[in-house]
Chains A and B, each alone.
Chain A
Amino acid sequence: MKGIGELTAATVPSGTVPPPVPGFVVSSFSPLVAAAAERCLIARHKNPPGTEDIGERTAVVVVSGSGDARMAEHVAHMVDDGARIGPLLFFQAVPNSVAGHVAARWGLRGPVVCLCPTGDPKAEGLAQARLLIDDGDADEVLVVLVEQTGAGDSAHALLVNEGDLP
């Protein structure tokens, strides 16, 4: 069984207002993922967008216990109030959407996986990365940990490959 190696990492700490992402409204969830991913990928590949050979076998794994909590609350309120729901909200109904945004921007053509951790988010994200690399569907994996909590919203991204860490 292969280990894992950390190539780059980046954090968007709580209290940061991430740059807006076109098409993603209401919630910080997707902009946080995009910002953390961008910092991490720039550290590895310099300026976006990547070329095809950068990410042909790079997977995107989004790990979040909260999920897009602000979005879920917003939609629930809109539905309960009988309010009109804008079409943009449809596109961000699932965490896959922003993973697809990052993948399209950087040409990352590996698997797209979103997980809700029941234990340590980083450990679960790295375990998923290790599985995808070991199974052969990816050589590198961008793991983005993102949480929306009462203490604040934050994201942390790691780009990993096969390495020596257990």
Chain B
Amino acid sequence: MTEPPLRTGITGLAAVSALGRGAQAQLAGVLAGAAAFAPVRRFDVGGRKVTTAATLADTGSLADELAGVIWDACAGLSAGERAETPLLLGIHGHPDAGRSAAATTAGFATDLAARTGLAGVAKVYTCACVSGSTAVADAAASIRAGRSGRVVVAAGYLVESDQFALFDAGRALAKDGAARPFSSGRSGLLLGDAVSAVVLEPVGAQDVLAEVAGWGRAGDAHHVVRPDPGGRGMARAIGAALRRAGIGPDEVGYVNANASGADGDSAEATALRKALGTERIPVSSTKSTHGHGLEGSGLLEMVVTVLAVRAGKLPVNAGYLGADPACDLDLILDAPREAASPYALTVNAAFGGANTALLVKAVA
């Protein structure tokens, strides 16, 4: 007789963003809908067209912050349990790459696993804004197939000078100091710190905060950086997540969207309508408060989504000025809404047309 597939539980989590340190700071920030954008003080932004981002004061290095969230997420594990737990890491690369030939990304990951007492590095994801979410999907797939036990997934980005300069040069940053997902008058994204970690393991091993009930990954095959305006890749990723969970769109109670305030938000709106049909599911993008955390974004947004559905409150889509007919969605505006379902989707997209969808289920 075939054993049923193993379910994946989230048994620990931690996060740092401009909303603050720790899980409760993230939840309070996204529910308050108070955007954390402010003038950048961390590095020189002279000569940049945009000088705003969501940065936390007194952060340490990326390695220090990643180590901090890993320690916090693993608080329920003994040293022996950590020593049997591999790390899946999502990062842009070694923060000193480009300035030091000795700064290797693999070395950064290996050192991080060693200093946090983990059993080495399983994989390092460098797939831009779907790094953390792809790592979660892969981990859940491996656990479901019985090929993996407990793992730690961590992902991080701290706003720094080089990516800021590139996004500024690409005219991707919002000129008016606010990220306005799905809104009329939106002018771009704003970068934000995003460092988080989760412990994933087969359900039953520990007390579970939430399950990763479904996941999907799909490509647009459309453009180097622009999303498919038809939203087909993202819709397929969402469809795969729902199929793996064995639920229909009517059971999904919330979508934490990828939308960043860029033109491409309309493509995501199309994808959500395509994948979820006539269901008017509450939607917001928490990037409107903590900014776009690039390689750290997918995991931070999953953490925030888990916290929200566990609290029974759905975050606000901040920065909203008015309706864009191309983004016809049931947006959560003005105040948090009560969660009507334990199931929530968190959706991410990246350069290269990469899309991921993670479906989480809160566990009481």
Contact = CB atoms under 8 A, between A and B. Distances in A.
A108 B352 CA distance: 11
B125 A118 contact: no
A3 interface: no
Interface stretch (B166-174, B296-304, B307-315, B321-329): B166-174
A118 B110 contact: yes
Nearest to B99: A76
A76 B162 contact: yes
B225 A111 contact: no
A122 to B, nearest CB: 14
A79 B171 CA distance: 16
Given A23-B224, A72-B98, A100 B351 contact: yes
A50 B233 CA distance: 17
A18 to B, nearest CB: 17
A17 B99 CA distance: 25
Contacts of B220: 100, 103-104, 109
Interface string A55-84: 100011000110101001111111110101
B179 to A, nearest CB: 17
B166 A115 contact: no
B170 A113 contact: no
Interface of B: 46-47, 92-93, 97-99, 104-106, 109-110, 120-121, 123-128, 130, 134, 138, 141-142, 145, 147, 161-163, 165-172, 216-225, 232-233, 236, 240, 350-354
6 contacts: A60-B352, A69-B97, A79-B165, A85-B166, A91-B170, A95-B127
Interface of A: 1, 23, 55, 59-60, 64-65, 67, 69, 72-80, 82, 84-87, 89-91, 93-101, 103-104, 106-118, 124, 128, 131-132, 134-137
